[in-house]
Structure 1
Amino acid sequence: MIYVKPDKIDEILNDRRWSRNRLAQETGLRPAVISELCNNGRMTINRSALYKIMKTLGIKDMNEVLEIRE
């Protein structure tokens, strides 16, 4: 399965001194969506939501925020 690397997202947020709520505001996503993605609480990853997060945080390589686990 593919999982989000919450530590990487939180690291970038900490560098910016942003909270997950701030990320939600900047991306236009609901805070629950950010939380579920960061806590791997979803069985599917919405590509549009992932794109908005990556674009907002300046992440160009999906490998920075995603990993495959068996």
Structure 2
Amino acid sequence: MATLYIKVQDLLDERGWTQKHLAIMTGLRTAAVSEICNNMRTSINKEHLEKIAEAFGLKDINELMELR
């Protein structure tokens, strides 16, 4: 069975950003960012994904998530 993997922590590591920095940039709760980074969420708000993608300057959803 394929699993959706959210690559937010990978993107943070590549840029040298912290979860707290991303939370400030997006206006999301630090706990929400942590849960997303650790792939602990069973559902993710579309608006959250949009804010995260915008913060990273992503143009392709594949940069943010993948099926594994």
Q: TM-score, normalised by structure 2?
A: 0.83
In the TM superposition, structure 1's runs of 4+ consecutive aligned residues that sit over 2 Å from their partners are none
Structure 2 residue 29 is matched with structure 1 residue 27: no
Cα-Cα RMSD: 1.3
Query: How far, CA to CA, are the matches of 1:65 and 1:10 in structure 2?
Result: 13
> How far off its partner does 1:44 sit?
1.0
Structure 2 residue 37 is matched with structure 1 residue 38: yes
Match of 1:7 among 5, 10, 27: 10
Letter in 2 for 1:4: I
Query: How far, CA to CA, are the matches of 2:54 and 2:39 in structure 1?
Result: 20
CA deviations over 1:38-64 (Å, ceiling 9, x no partner)? 100101121110110110110111101
Query: How far, CA to CA, are the matches of 2:10 and 2:42 in structure 1?
Result: 19
Query: How far, CA to CA, are the matches of 2:11 and 2:22 in structure 1?
Result: 14
Identity of aligned residues (%): 48
Count the aligned residue pairs.
65
The runs of 5 or more residues in structure 2 that have no matched partner are none
Aligned partner of 1:59 in structure 2 is 58
Contact kept, 8 Å, 1:9 with 1:65, in 2: the verdict is no
